[in-house]
Structure 1
Amino acid sequence: MEAATVATFFAAGGASLFMAWAIGAGSSGSTPFAPAVGANAISVMRAGFFVGILGLLGATLQGANVTEAVGRDLVVGTTLSPIAAIVALSIAAGLVAVGVFTGYPIATAFTVTGAVVGAGLAMGGAPAWPKYSEIVAVWTLTPFVGGGIAYGTTKLLRHESVPETVATPALAGLVGAILANVEFVLLGPSDTTQSVAGTIAASAPGRIAVTVVLAAVVVALMAVDMRTDVAAGQRHFLLALGGLVAFSAGGSQVGLALGPLLPLFDTVDIAVPLIALLFGGGLGLLAGSWTAAPRMIKAIAQDYSSLGPRRSIAALIPSFAIAQTAILLGVPISFNEIIVSAVIGAGAAAGSGGISRGKVGYTVLAWVGSLLGAGVLSFGLYTALSAVLLV
């Protein structure tokens, strides 16, 4: 391999690691445990520690779908060159880093998607309209679905006629049923994923039966915990949910850092297993979570709503479900959008006055601006570099 090619390749890898760090410091590192921190179930620093570990596991075991989508499905007719990958990743990471250090949750999925599309179009590629329609549908529905479910769940948990010792185990059983059908790379044959229910039973009726049994086990365990100490049971459930969302964040967000690199490996004679790349990206997420996530955890936990345990549970349940749906579809999703909308829905159900309307408005503008700005900047910078470097 020529020295120039090696240098460019490593520069692209460095940009990818910077992107992974920025994601770990921002969306995947801050949002999963933010409701739990807001409910005083875990400290900010401890949340940053655990979210890094769980994000690494999620990236390695669930990151393939979104990585493939970002790397190969956003532009038709071309693949990103090393220079285009460096441009897209650098611009996206820079915007996310600005959000981290200013305290505003920039939507990472928006910035990376805009930057990759901008660079791909500048290379002469065509828009991938079917994929864009799928992505826009998920992004548009997320605040309504997440906020709506969080609103309804909060109302259920606060309803006087529904004992918490009944409602909380039932919700835990629902989460257990979802978890039984979440797909992991190590459970399936080579280069495929499989769920726990699918591994135990091959037929659809069998998978349903396994799901019901596993959900019932979770309900029983949660019920026993709640009978012993209601407050402790809620805290345990809340921390488990935060862990599941952190794991899901790793599985989704690592693709935003690694996706642009995939086409580069098609141009060189280097056989690197995808799971090895995912593990490397997960290490970048972990580094970001451990070094810079606490600032954003505080911003999400305290600036949007003062959450108690019940509202935090209500916010994290739809967050976990939406994140896993997006991973299954291979759609890059913003965890800031998921968590913020769920937090607002839970806060609205409780009649909380703690939601900052101004903060929410600026956040939405930052999301839209990051998508459009990343696309324009990436297109312009790649076009300028192409003229100078004749690439």
Structure 2
Amino acid sequence: MVEPTLLATLAVATLASLFMAWAIGAGSSGSTPFAPAVGANAISVLRAGLLVGLLGLAGATLQGANVSEAVGQELIGGYTLSPAGATLALLLAAGLVAFGVFTGYPIATAFTVTGAVVGIGLAAGGDPAWAKYREIVTLWVTIPFVGGGIAYGVATTLRDERVPERLAVPALAAVVAVLLANVNFVLLGGPGEQSSIAVELAALAGQSTLVGRAGVSVAFAAVIAALLYRDLQADAAAAQRHFLLVLGGLVAFSAGGSQVGLAIGPLLPLLGPDTGVQVPLETVLLFGGIGLLAGSWTGAPRMIKAIAQDYSSLGPRRSIAALIPSFAIAQTAVLFGIPVSFNEIIVSAIIGSGYAAGGGAVSGEKMAKTVLAWIGSLVLALGLGYGLFAVWTSVV
């Protein structure tokens, strides 16, 4: 029999988690992936909102486990979030996100959730998980340089008249295909495991070795590149739009897998044998994915329309250059179970592709304020989490 107090706590935490998922779906992870395709007139705003919601739900369900478990269980050593701690973390993060939404301040969800969970865990007497923090900080710090650098390189290559577009674009598609073939999915693995297309196809062919998986990846990439090359021969502009749609779909899927953990991660400690409320992880991921879907369908279309105006000035080539590293970085975060800001990923890639076109007009002041807002989100959530939980424990 579950205590009424725990049920009430769980209800509050669930509502806060649902709000977080909605805000994430309505925000950058729900609006950004298809904005380039909308800006290039490859898809309408309403269809983009519909697709991004469905793909975000799929990504959350099929790839959300790693980040969710990291947020809920790996940010503090020797301590598992108590019901009160998990609820406070979700309420604090949701409150800061709501503050950002209504005031226009760019509150970064990943930094906010991470800071809140770490602050509460430390206040409860937990040990810093230094190894995990090094992973997180390393990715956070390298995202602007890696994402922006790749975007700059891709955009520069596509703009170079010496590089035939009919060869460059299929080559980029081949790189994306190799990444996709090696992405892990829940449905492809055994019970409690994940596997990739390359691993499964290599196993079917009796070549379950690194060489076998590499061969499958290369074959998969060759097929994708050949299809896009044929599309380019028929209509180059239409082929670019098709590639943008596929990239947008992959980024939307990756956003669901990497961002759902920010909403449901702190909820996981409430749904285990210690509390008597046991819910399968797959069910919790589906719940979070539905929250992302709701946010995408209700809030993303307006955001997509607004952001698409910025992307329309980028053009298809620079949009492709921005989306490729966004997909790669988001999948890296999913693989290692690292909470990451999708805003940081996208903004860095857009700036990198912009500089390739001589984007000297990129505001240094605006960039500095954005970075300070990201850091401020982390510090504020960390301090408030520690302070509020310390007050709570002293009183209760």
TM-score, structure 2 as length reference: 0.94
Specify the alignment match of 2:297 in structure 1.
290
Q: What's the counterpart of residue 260 of structure 1?
A: 266
Distance 1:100 1:45, change over 3 A: farther
Counterpart residue number, 1:307: 314
Residues of 2 paired with 1:52 and 1:180: CA distance? 23
Q: How far did residue 123 of structure 1 move?
A: 1.2
2:221 aligns with one of 207, 215, 222:
215
SS in 2 for 1:376: helix
Where 2:187 maps in the other structure, the secondary structure is helix
Alignment-derived partner of residue 140 in structure 1: 141
- Give the C-alpha shift of residue 366 in structure 1: 1.2
1:315, 1:307 → 2: CA distance?
A: 10
Residue 275 of structure 1: how far off its partner (Å): 0.9
Contact 1:305–1:347 (8 Å) recurs in 2 = no
User: What does residue 200 of structure 1 align with?
Assistant: 201
Cα shift readout 1:267-287 (whole Å, capped 9, x = no counterpart): 223332111110110000111
Percent identity over the alignment is 67
Q: Are the equivalent residues in 2 in contact too, given 1:305–1:343 (CA < 8 A)? A: no
Check 1:105–1:310 CA distance in 2 against 1; reply closer, same or farther (3 A cut): farther
Match of residue 154 from structure 1: 155
2: CA distance between counterparts of 1:96 and 1:22? 8
Distance in 2 of aligned mates of 1:354 and 1:302: 17
* CA displacement at 1:18 relative to structure 2: 1.2
Paired residue type of 1:370: S
- Structure 1: how far apart are the matches of 2:309 and 2:115? 29
Match of 1:124 in 2: 125
Q: Which deviates further from its counterpart, 370-379 or 134-143? A: 370-379
Measure, in 2, the Cα distance between the counterparts of 1:49 and 1:145: 31
Q: 1:303 to 1:88 in 2, by over 3 A?
A: farther
Match of 2:324 among 298, 306, 317: 317
Is 1:333 paired with 2:334?
no
C-alpha RMSD of matched pairs (Å): 1.7
Aligned to 2:110: 109
What does residue 59 of structure 2 align with?
Answer: 58
Instruction: Specify whether residues 94 and 33 from structure 1 end up closer, same or farther in structure 2 by C-alpha distance, changes over 3 A only.
Output: farther
Checking the alignment, whether the CA contact within 8 Å between 1:187 and 1:193 is kept in structure 2 is yes
Give, in whole Å, the separation in 2 of the partners of 1:116 and 1:283: 23
Check conservation: 2:270, 2:277, Cα contact below 8 A: no
Paired residues of 1:104 and 1:363 also in contact (CA < 8 A): no
Q: Deviations over 1:305-326 (max 9, x none)?
A: 8310000000000110111111
Q: Distance in 2 between matches of 1:260 and 1:104?
A: 24
The residue that corresponds to 2:230 in the other structure is 224
Q: Which runs of 5+ in 2 are unaligned?
A: 203-207
**Distance in 2 separating the partners of 1:40 and 1:355:** 24
Q: Deviation digits for residues 330-356 of structure 1, max 9, x if unmatched?
A: 111111001100000000001135634
Q: Could you tell me how far apart the structure 1 residues matched to 2:306 and 2:373 are?
A: 15
Which position in structure 1 is the counterpart of 2:205?
none
Q: Tell me how far apart the structure 2 counterparts of residues 141 and 254 of structure 1 sit (CA, whole Å).
A: 22
Q: Say whether the 8 Å CA contact 2:117–2:385 is kept in structure 1.
A: yes
Q: Report Cα offsets for 1:106-136 as digits up to 9, x if no partner.
A: 3211111001111111111111111001100
**Separation of aligned partners in 1, 2:182 and 2:288:** 25
Q: Can you list the C-alpha shifts for 1:134-185, whole angstroms capped at 9, x where unaligned?
A: 1000000111000000000001101101111111111111111110000000
Shift of 1:301: 4.2
CA–CA distance in structure 2, aligned partners of residues 353 and 37 of structure 1 = 25
The answer as to 2:192 corresponding to 1:191 is yes
What letter corresponds to residue 279 of structure 1 in structure 2?
L
Structure 1's 224 and 99: CA in aligned 2 closer, same or farther, altered over 3 A? Answer: farther
- Which moved further from structure 2: 263-272 or 231-240? 263-272
Alpha-carbon separation, structure 1, partners of 2:49 and 2:370: 22
Q: Is the 8 A contact 2:35 2:311 kept in 1?
A: no
How many angstroms does 1:102 deviate by?
4.4
Question: Could you tell me how far 1:358 is from its partner in structure 2?
Answer: 3.7
Write the distance in 1 (CA, Å) between the matches of 2:41 and 2:102: 24
CA deviation profile, 1:180-234 (whole Å, cap 9, x unmatched): 0000000001011000000111211110110011000000110111111101000
Cα deviation, residue 34, structure 1 = 3.0
Q: Is the 8 A contact 1:105 1:336 kept in 2?
A: no
- Aligned residue pairs total 389
Deviations 1:347-381 (A, max 9, x none): 00011356344433322121111111111112222
1:26–1:105 contact (8 Å) kept in structure 2: no
Consecutive unaligned residues in structure 1, runs of 5 or more: none
Q: Which residue of 1 aligns with 2:78?
A: 77
Structure 1 residue 92, shift from structure 2 partner: 1.3
Q: Distance in 1 between matches of 2:263 and 2:181?
A: 28
Q: Name the SS of the counterpart of 1:186 in structure 2.
A: coil
Shift of 1:302: 4.2
